[in-house]
Structure formats: C-alpha cells, structure tokens
Amino acid sequence: MQIRFMARSFGVSGDRAGQESRGYRFPYGPVAVITPFNFGLEIPVLQLMGALFMGNKPVLKSDQKVSVIMEQFVRMLVNNCGLNPTDVDFINSDGPVMQKLLRYSKPRTTLFTGSSKVAEMLVRETKGKIKIEDAGFDWKVLGPDVPRKNSEIDYVAWQSDQDAYGFSGQKCSAQSILFMDRKWKKVDFLGRLEALAKRRNLDDLTISPVLSWTSDAILQHVDNLLKLPGAKLLWGGKKLENHTIPEVYGAVEPTAVFVPLSAMRSKKAFKLATTEVFGPVQVITDYNKSGKDRVKSYLERMEHHLTAAIVSNDLDFQQEMLGATVNGTTYVGRRARTTGAPQNHWFGPAGDPRGAGIGSVEAIQMVWSCHREVVHDVGTIPEDWTTPKCT
C-alpha cells in the first residue's frame, strides 16, 4: 500500500479559473543497476526494487563474485512473488561487457555503486545520465567531552573497532580516519581499541579475506604512510598466518597508523593519508583545542562526502562540526558510527549532484524518477474576447 505513495503528486492553483499545475514523479523507463560485491544482497535488492516500484524497466548487473545471489533473488521474485519475467533483465558479465551494453542500449539513467574510478568512467560513458554512490573515505571525530563511565568509553571503542574492521573494512561506510581529541588519551582509548582489534581472527570470521586488494598492496600503502613525518604503526601491519587464502586476495591483520595532523599539510601527504583502502586499515590522529580548525579544514578537503560520525554529546561541538561539513549521512552523539545498514534512514553522499541515495522514500524518488509538470488550462474563454495587439 505504501509503495503507491512514493509517486505522490502535488497541485498548485493557477492565475485564473480552470488553470492548475500538477507536479508528478515520473519513471525514466529503461534503466540500469550496477552494484558491488561487498553487499551482494542489500544494495542490489534495494535499488532494483526501488527502480521497479517507480515503474521503470531495469537491467541488473551485480558483481561477478556474488552474482549468484541476485540470480536466485530474481528467480524468487518471478517464481514466488508474481513478478512478470519481462519486467527485469539480468546480466552476468564483467565490466567491459556491461559498458558495451550501456553504450548500445542507452538507458535513460544508470545507478552505479562502487569505486570512484569506475564511476567517473561511467559518467563519461553515459554522458552524465547516472547516479553514483562511489568511494567513501569516511571520518570520525571524537569530541572533547570524554565520558566518565568506563562502559561508555568501552562502547565508543567497540563501535570504532566495528566501523573500521567489520567485514575487514570492505564497506564504503568504513571508518577510514579517526580524529581524536587528546583528552581521550587519558582514558587509554587507543589501548582499548587495540585490544578489540587483536581479538579478531579467521577462525570466527571476525577478520576475512580482502577481495579487491592484495596483501602486498595493502602493506605497501601502510609503508608509505609510515614515511610521513611523525607517523608510527599503532598495531597490525602484518600478513595473517596459517591460512589457505589465495595470494590474489588480501590477508592482513587489522591495522592502524598514527599520522600527526601537521604531517598532512601538503597536498601529496594529504592525498596519501586520505586514500581509501578497501581493507582493515585506518589512519588515526589527534588534536587539541588549537588544532580544531585544522581538523575542520581537512574534513572539507576530502573529496567523497559519504558517511561521518561526530562522537559527542556536546551540542556546541556538534553544531560547529555539522556546520563545517557536508557528509550525506552523518551520525551525531555519543553512540555515533560511520557504518549502519539504512533500515530507517537515507544513506548516500552529499555535495555532488550525481549522488545516489538508498534506504528511504526520498532516495527512491530521487534516483528512480524525474519531475514532470503538467499545466491544465481549461478555463472558459469569454465571448467578448478579442485578439490583442501584437507584442
């Protein structure tokens, strides 16, 4: 029943009797959905169903590594849920084949979730007819109001560990950099975080293979970070041992590198420190009161404004940080996180007109429909009307 309301229209009265304008959410028609490996069910299902709910005809391509999931889901829709088989096209292919399909079929819009490099290529291929939810180098700021209760400190540490290392960091919402007010050092926050990271292991799958980076590539990036002035390894930085993971995949310990704020001043150093690693690696830095403005400037300089967390119950600090940033999904408060399935809220980037959303009515409307205005003008023409002078 609620699906019908996603296409709710509105009316505005005209300037004479019989005139009215009506705004409609209108489907595009032929559309494409391209989704990544790391959320093999959630992302493609939400976007595919959103496209269908708005009346489009989608072609779906999920990543080859996990395409069997969506193949079975589409079969379920057809065999058990009454979906007309002609309503959806499904393709299992690599990137170049899908690119060729887009080139020749020319869908009216394409939804792409994945790497920023591929996103920019598809922007050119589709001539801008695309919505993207690409890379996210996501930040978390721990505010100056350190809680007094150990349970609350432990909670913040647990959430940080989960944000950075859950699914080995293979999430566009993973915590990539942590800005910590130096007051958190007094409660040994980093020691707590390290202890949590070291609990993770392959036996219980709390650490897992990295599917898009090799171990050598990850550790080379860590080594490059350690060359920055004042940088140091906090924990990790080693390959996992006693496993049978093929070398084509990454297998490294949960890793954190401390990089001083001052070491990120240059463009080259900042780019290195804010490079997203789709694996269990995070950058940690700290700041004091005088360094807060620099933190805000760094947050503004980042290119991909996806998720963020402001861990503070201090309203003044919250407002200051919110006013200086634009991330599309920003969690605020003592329990703030960067990673959360969008079960009850919008998830997507901000600051980019190509940005795609997911998880809400507004997201479906924005990605899978366009605005159409119909102006009705059926008023009676007066009998004494005469042709006016030429203008």
pLDDT at res. 115: 85
For residue range 20-44, list pLDDT tens digits in order.
999 999 999 999 999 999 888 999 9
3-state secondary structure of 38: coil
What is the maximum alpha-carbon separation in the chain? 94
Looking at residues 236-242, what average pLDDT do you find?
A: 96
pLDDT beyond 80 at 352: yes
52 contact partners, CB below 8 Å, separation of at least 6? 58, 83, 87, 88
Q: Measuring CA to CA, how many Å separate 345 from each of 1, 202, 324, 363?
A: 20, 32, 22, 10
Return the structure tokens found at 6. Answer: 């996603």
Per the model's pLDDT, the better-predicted residue between 1 and 30 turns out to be 30
pLDDT beyond 80 at 237: yes
Structure confidence at residue 13 as a pLDDT band (50, 70, 90): very high
d(CA 291, CA 261) in angstroms, rounded, equals 8
For residue range 262-299, list pLDDT tens digits in order.
999 999 999 999 999 999 999 999 999 999 999 999 99
Element (H, E) at 124: helix 116-125
d(CA 225, CA 217) in angstroms, rounded, equals 13
With residues binned 3-state (H G I as helix, E B as strand, rest as coil), the percentages for the chain, rounded to 5, are 40, 25, 40
Name which of 389, 183, 376, 368 is nearest 291 in CA terms. Answer: 183
Structure confidence at residue 117 as a pLDDT band (50, 70, 90): confident
Q: Which residues pair with residue 191 across a beta bridge?
A: none
Structure confidence at residue 143 as a pLDDT band (50, 70, 90): very high
Looking at residues 211-240, what average pLDDT do you find?
A: 97
The structural domains of the chain, ordered by start, are 2-134+349-376 (3.40.605.10), 138-332 (3.40.309.10)
Looking at residues 89-103, what average pLDDT do you find?
A: 94
- Known catalytic residues are 133, 172
pLDDT beyond 60 at 1: no
Name which of 49, 35, 28, 18 is nearest 364 in CA terms. Answer: 49
pLDDT at res. 196: 98
d(CA 285, CA 10) in angstroms, rounded, equals 49
User: DSSP class of residue 388?
Assistant: P
pLDDT at res. 220: 98
Structure confidence at residue 135 as a pLDDT band (50, 70, 90): confident
pLDDT beyond 70 at 102: yes
pLDDT at res. 197: 98
Q: Which residues pair with residue 90 across a beta bridge?
A: 60
Element (H, E) at 191: helix 189-197
Evaluate whether 115 touches 95 at the Cβ level (below 8 Å): no
Task: Write the single-letter amino acid at 7.
Answer: A
- Average pLDDT over the chain reads 94
Structure-token match 């040994």, residue found: 188
pLDDT at res. 331: 96
pLDDT at res. 141: 98
Return the structure tokens found at 279. Answer: 């694996």
pLDDT at res. 326: 93
Q: Are strands 369-377 and 19-27 parallel, antiparallel or unpaired?
A: antiparallel
Evaluate whether 177 touches 284 at the Cβ level (below 8 Å): yes
Evaluate whether 165 touches 133 at the Cβ level (below 8 Å): no
3-state secondary structure of 148: coil
For residue range 167-185, list pLDDT tens digits in order.
999 998 999 999 999 999 9
For residue range 38-85, list pLDDT tens digits in order.
888 999 999 999 999 999 999 999 999 999 999 999 999 999 999 999
Looking at residues 343-364, what average pLDDT do you find?
A: 89
Looking at residues 341-368, what average pLDDT do you find?
A: 89
pLDDT at res. 140: 98
Task: Write the single-letter amino acid at 335.
Answer: R
Structure-token match 């008023």, residue found: 379
pLDDT at res. 343: 73
Return the structure tokens found at 368. Answer: 């899978």
